[in-house]
Amino acid sequence: MSDLLFRNFKTKIMQKVLVLFLLCSSVIGIAQVKEKIAFGPYIQQMGTKDATICWSTLESSPTLTDKDGNVKTIGEYKHHKIHLGDLEPNTEYKYDVLNDGSDEGKGTLTTYPDEIIPFNFAVTGDSRNRHDVHAKIVAKIMETNPRFIINSGDLVANGRSISDWEAFFGVNKELMKNTPYYPVLGNHEKDSPYYYDLFDLPNNEKYYYFTVGDALFIVLDSEGKQISEPDFVSEKNSDAFWQSAFSEYFNTQKNWLENVLELNKEAGFVFIFQHKPLYSAMKNRKAEAEQTRKFWGDIFERHKVQVFLNGHDHHYHRATKNGVHYITSAGAGAPLYDIELTLPETKKSSKIEHFVNVQINKKNAFLYVTDINGDEIETVEIKRRK
């Protein structure tokens, strides 16, 4: 792997900043145009003393021809990543994965703090299409200068289509080169190999957690394995087929979640993310949400989780139950859905494109829900756990 060259210089805030050059000529041929960066660079796993930088290069352009002679070109990409260790907490680093004199491979990362200090992060969801809308949401998010961003799923319309990922990384290029990006598996990701190639995530990459300060962030997988029911399965055996296919996976995930929450029981703030909602304001999804709540039971209330954030329903909806805020935030590009139901637990809803900027302080956190025009939908205060 390439060498790392560090240069020290002073910042206005008297913080040590290192200029970090990733000399990657052994990995990619700088002189060859085809090996210039196609996706990225972008920041993945971040810690107080480590980080991961990813990027992709175009390797070839296979074609697919249909029966009418129409030819479609499909990009084949090679994915690169480098893990950086021995970094300083809460420190800014400049990196360059090409080191060829151009700006193409440059970005900036800031490690997480090793103490409890205020910071903010952004939440968005269902960015899958209407790329012009997605770009406007990303621009608004960048104005908040988040420490990281979490997308609650359905990043793209079809996770098995590389052209969809090309569009996604095109929209997010400026954001992701300086800001760690944490995705959630949605139904439109289709458990695609592209998802696991492009992202470098903790744990098994399907569900994982990380911490910043005394805040705990847990990402769950509401989708499970990508399988189809064979045509020969009869209607009377259909429920049994799906129960058998997924029960072990989700029960394993549930036990994992219980353990993570117990291990991190002293965390001041707990945010959980999943694609599908536990409270849906859509008539055709209400029953599924009820089944999901039944599966999870009282685990969130028992462990004093403050916020559960999801996507899937393309609007904003917040419900509360026994101290937990269940928030649907899915307004980053997918066509909006009507809000058809007002549940007993509903506190606020709005059919508009939006994102959530979360500011965490020592004693409380504020969720600033902002629409695509920059107007406030609502502000929610969360108290630190005792």
Confidence of residue 234 (pLDDT cuts 50, 70, 90): confident
* Residue pLDDT, tens place only, 80-133: 999 999 999 999 999 999 999 899 999 999 999 999 999 999 999 999 989 999
Please report the pLDDT score of residue 227 as a whole number. 60
CATH 2.60.40 placement within the chain: 32-115
Percent of the chain's residues with pLDDT above 70: 89
The yes-or-no verdict on residue 10 having pLDDT over 60 is no
Please report the pLDDT score of residue 229 as a whole number. 65
Cα 4 to Cα 97: distance, rounded to the nearest angstrom: 10
Of 1.10.3470, 2.40.30, 2.60.40, 3.10.660, the CATH number of 32-115 is 2.60.40
The yes-or-no verdict on residue 27 having pLDDT over 60 is no
Residues 6+ apart with CB under 8 A from 360: 118, 119, 120, 121, 213, 215, 269
Look at 224 and 239; give whichever has higher pLDDT. Answer: 224
Confidence of residue 25 (pLDDT cuts 50, 70, 90): very low
Q: Architecture of 116-383 per CATH?
A: 4-Layer Sandwich (3.60)
Q: Which of 34-38, 60-64, 271-275, 294-298 has the lowest mean pLDDT?
A: 34-38
Please report, to the nearest 10 degrees, the dihedral formed by the alpha carbons of residues 96, 102, 103, 106 taken in order: -10
Please report the pLDDT score of residue 29 as a whole number. 35
Please give the average per-residue pLDDT across 236-256, as a whole number: 81
| Reduced 3-state DSSP string for the chain | CCCEEEEEEECCCCCEEEEEEECCCCCCCCCCHHHCEEEEEEEEEECCCCEEEEEEEEEECCEEECCCCCEEECCEEEEEEEEECCCCCCCEEEEECCCCCCCCCEEEEECCCCCCCCEEEEEECCCCCCHHHHHHHHHHHHHCCCCCEEECCCCCCCCCCHHHHHHHHHHHHHHHCCCCEEECCCHHHCCCHHHHHHCCCCCCCCCEEEEECCEEEEECCCCCCCCCCCCCCCHHHHHHHHHHHHHHHHHHHHHHHHHHHHHCCCCCEEEEEECCCCCCCCHHHHHHHHHHHHHHCCHHHHCCCCEEEECCCCCEEEEEECCEEEEEECCCCCCCCCCCCCCCCEEEEECCCEEEEEEECCCEEEEEEEECCCCEEEEEEEECCC
Confidence of residue 237 (pLDDT cuts 50, 70, 90): confident
The pTM (predicted TM-score) of the whole model is 0.88
* Residue pLDDT, tens place only, 287-334: 999 999 999 999 999 999 999 999 999 999 999 999 999 999 999 999
The yes-or-no verdict on residue 47 having pLDDT over 80 is yes
Please give the average per-residue pLDDT across 270-281, as a whole number: 97
The yes-or-no verdict on residue 238 having pLDDT over 50 is yes
The yes-or-no verdict on residue 281 having pLDDT over 50 is yes
* Rg of the chain (C-alpha set): 21
The yes-or-no verdict on residue 70 having pLDDT over 60 is yes
Please report the pLDDT score of residue 228 as a whole number. 62
Q: What is the mean pLDDT of the chain?
A: 89
The yes-or-no verdict on residue 13 having pLDDT over 60 is no
Percent of the chain's residues with pLDDT above 90: 81
CATH 3.60.21.10 placement within the chain: 116-383
